[in-house]
Amino acid sequence: NSAPTFATVLVKVTDTNDNAPQITINFVTSSEGPVYLSEDVPMDTFLAYLTVSDRDGGRNGRVNVTLDGAYRHFRLKPVPDGDGQYLIVTSAALDRETLPTYNVTVI
């Protein structure tokens, strides 16, 4: 008869990138948009509050956010100590005669 032998096996389960990022936007004028602005608003005028998150862990949970179609007129302003929280604000003068509508997409 031989004596039984035991071994401990350590299994580490890593996170996969299986959760899509979540984006929440709250506009200043309504919950759905659009936002109406006068062309004479000052720079840094607040348009929307943006929250992004991802339930994945580690590197898979990091989220990068950009604005597409902002035409340098809008930018993301990080909320201090607000992980994944941003304000969408104006970053240049608006001119209705040059461009009456801006279609800005959060990516």
Q: Are 66 and 107 in contact (CB under 8 A)?
A: yes
Distances (CA, A) of 62 to 50, 73, 84, 99: 16, 26, 9, 35
What is the reported pLDDT for 31?
66
pTM for this predicted structure: 0.80
Of 64, 66, 30, the C-alpha closest to 47 is 30
Percent of the chain with pLDDT over 70: 96
Q: What is the rounded distance in angstroms from the CA atom of residue 54 to the CA atom of residue 75?
A: 22
pLDDT above 90 for 58: no
- pLDDT tens-digit profile of 61-88? 888 899 998 778 999 999 998 889 999 9
pLDDT, position 2: 76
Residue 88 is encoded by which pair of tokens?
């969408």
Asked if residues 29 and 41 have their Cβ atoms less than 8 Å apart, the reply is no
